[in-house]
Structure 1
Amino acid sequence: MIKTGIIGGAGYTAGELLRLLINHPEVEIVFVNSSSNAGNKITDVHSGLYGETDLEFTDQMLFDKIDVLFLCMGHGDSQKFMETNGAELPASLKIIDLANDFRLKADGNKFIYGLPELNREEIKKSQYVANPGCFATCIQLALLPLAKNGLLKGEVHVNAITGSTGAGVKPGATSHFSWRNNNISIYKPFKHQHLPEIKQSLAQLQAGYDGVINFIPVRGDFPRGIFASIYLDCELEVADVIRMYEEFYAGQSFTFVANKTIDLKQVVNTNKGIVQVEKYGNKLLVTSIIDNLLKGASGQAVHNMNLMFGLDEKAGLHLKPSAF
């Protein structure tokens, strides 16, 4: 059994991670760290886990008792954690960070960018993995096959709407029910924090690409999921483009190319990503959907863990979509 620990156990991503790990056939959860909840039952915070676990939160970090550590803290806290605790971490301990602290390549950064559709073989050999952002995952799944075939030549236009869980568990003015319900708004247009990691991945496949990605993020009035619609100029026939997508995602465990219109409920509560390609004149339209808490966060983290330990990629991730 793979022994796991979680730091930052009270948030949405940690709750989803716990749901997956509790039901993972190859995993034992050793500790769930949350200083503010130490001594309380997991189910006091993640009430959907009633009947599935008797674990309690702890303020301890038993690094020598685990094989893999999941960091589910706020952005910026993972880097502080590594600076403070790095020297005492066991040499064999694997770490998966769900924040944005280590996603960008830099001198001294030992973390591999954890998008399996891009870096599967590197993830298998890695000790440290930086889980991608939710918007970044959804948008990259739509664009990577184009980059692989050198088809990104100009500006890319992205409109993507996300569920309220993307804002985190701490309440705020734009996540309060009375504001969010029956409401839609944009935020951080053209300057969302996930843009650098998207451009980094595209350049990895299409060297030299540095085109403008016009990204308009939208707050949706639903709890979970991301629906992205992306368009750009393309002279190829749509059948040729679809073939490129099918070849790129052939053999992938969780990303699929649909041949008809897709909708968000196909992926909510699953680790799937689904893309669909259409052509209107010289405009290529790519639609991409994921669950922001699963394929965009905790599900992808478990997928990365499975790769790092040589397990079946789908272990613990056989999930049923909401459907209705």
Structure 2
Amino acid sequence: MIKAGIIGGSGYTGGELIRILLNHPAVDINFVYSTTRAGKKVTSAHPDLLGVTELEFTGNVNPDVDLVFLCLGHGNSSKFLKANTFSSKSKVIDLSNDFRLMNDANFLGKQFVYGLPELNKNKIIASQFVANPGCFATAVQLALLPLASKGLLGNAVHVNAVTGSTGAGVSPTATTHFSWRNNNVSWYKPFTHQHLGEINESLSSLQPDAGELFFLPNRGNFTRGILATAYTQFKGSESEAKQLYASYYSDALFTQLTDDPIHLKQVVNTNQCHIHIHKHKDTLLITSAIDNLLKGASGQAVQNMNLMFGLEEGDGLQLKAGVF
């Protein structure tokens, strides 16, 4: 059994990670660390786990665990690793953006690999330290990687994506509380979102001369999921585009292509990404849908864990969407 420790277990991603790992056949949760809830039951923050676990949050860490998940706010993972030392054999998966970019990937002698399995599976398998991708970054990259792999992103790419309120974290803010978010939609950080850096690095690794990416993120009036639409000029036919995507994702366990228009409910509560292709005149439209807390965060972290420890990639992740 893999002894796993979770740092920052009281938030949304921490809660999803606990839920998955409690049902994982090869993992034992050794501790769940929280500075704000130490000594309290995990169910005090995650009542959906009532009757499932008697785990309690702790203010102490076990340095000899096999794996550490960092579910901390952006900028806090690096601070935590500076203040806490783990075994030289302990593996680390960070769910913040602290180590995703190439300039940040080497930290205190730890070389982090960017953890998008559909791009870096072999590197993840061989790595000890993984930087889990961002949620928007996952949805956008999975929509565009096949085109970049064939050098077909020479023109500008326009992406419009809407995310649920859980993407903003568990602490309420002016744009996440119910009265503001309900029956409301708005954009934020137009063309400057923090996930653009990792998206551009991944696309450039496949196509150095990729065209400019214009990204408009939106806040949706729902809790979970991301629906992203990306469009760019494409000289080939729709059939050729579908063949390209089918070939690129032929070995991708959690990325599925469909001829039917997609919607969020078919992926929410799963680790799936569903992709739909549509051609209009000389413009190719790619739609992707993920659960921001699972394929966009905790589910993908467990997928990476499975790869790092030589397990079946889908272990613990055969989750079913609730469509109705």
The 1-side partners of 2:21 and 2:4 are apart by 9
Q: How many residues align?
A: 320
Aligned to 1:74: 73
1:275-322 deviation digits (Å, cap 9, x = unpaired): 111100001000000000000000000000000000011100010101
The 1-side partners of 2:132 and 2:258 are apart by 25
Q: Trace 1:98-247 onto structure 2 (pairs within 5 A).
A: 98-106=95-103, 108-109=106-107, 110-209=111-210, 211-247=211-247
1:64-93 deviation digits (Å, cap 9, x = unpaired): 1x10000001000011122222xx321100
Give the C-alpha shift of residue 251 in structure 1. Answer: 1.6
The 1-side partners of 2:201 and 2:259 are apart by 29
The 2-side partners of 1:284 and 1:97 are apart by 34
Q: Residue 171 of structure 1 aligns to which amino acid in structure 2?
A: P
SS in 1 for 2:58: coil
The 1-side partners of 2:208 and 2:124 are apart by 21
Q: Residue 51 of structure 2 aligns to which amino acid in structure 1?
A: G
Deviation >4 Å, runs of 4+: none
1:248-286 deviation digits (Å, cap 9, x = unpaired): 000211001111111111100000001111100001000
Q: Residue 105 of structure 1 aligns to which amino acid in structure 2?
A: M
The 2-side partners of 1:286 and 1:60 are apart by 46
Give me the TM-score of the superposition, normalised by structure 1. Answer: 0.97
Give me the TM-score of the superposition, normalised by structure 2. Answer: 0.97
The 2-side partners of 1:318 and 1:287 are apart by 23
SS in 2 for 1:120: helix
The 2-side partners of 1:59 and 1:248 are apart by 44
Q: Residue 118 of structure 2 aligns to which amino acid in structure 1?
A: E
Q: Residue 237 of structure 1 aligns to which amino acid in structure 2?
A: S
The 1-side partners of 2:36 and 2:78 are apart by 20
Give the C-alpha shift of residue 208 in structure 1. Answer: 3.4
1:119-150 deviation digits (Å, cap 9, x = unpaired): 00000000000000000000000000000011
The 2-side partners of 1:257 and 1:205 are apart by 21
Where structure 2 has 5 or more consecutive residues not aligned to the other structure, the ranges are none
Aligned to 1:310: 310
Root-mean-square deviation (CA, aligned residues, Å) is 0.8
Aligned to 1:55: 55
Contact 2:254/2:273, CA 8 A, preserved across alignment: yes
Aligned to 1:96: 93
1:102-123 deviation digits (Å, cap 9, x = unpaired): 0001273410000000000000
Give the C-alpha shift of residue 155 in structure 1. Answer: 0.9
For the pair 1:12 / 2:12, whether they are aligned, the reply is yes
Q: Residue 61 of structure 2 aligns to which amino acid in structure 1?
A: M
Q: Residue 255 of structure 2 aligns to which amino acid in structure 1?
A: T
Q: Residue 132 of structure 2 aligns to which amino acid in structure 1?
A: N
Q: Trace 1:262-301 onto structure 2 (pairs within 5 A).
A: 262-301=262-301
Where structure 1 has 5 or more consecutive residues not aligned to the other structure, the ranges are none
Contact 2:138/2:296, CA 8 A, preserved across alignment: yes
The 1-side partners of 2:160 and 2:241 are apart by 21
The 2-side partners of 1:148 and 1:21 are apart by 34
Q: Residue 68 of structure 1 aligns to which amino acid in structure 2?
A: L
Aligned to 2:28: 28
Aligned to 2:46: 46
Identity %: 57
SS in 1 for 2:98: coil
Contact 2:154/2:209, CA 8 A, preserved across alignment: no
The 2-side partners of 1:138 and 1:298 are apart by 14
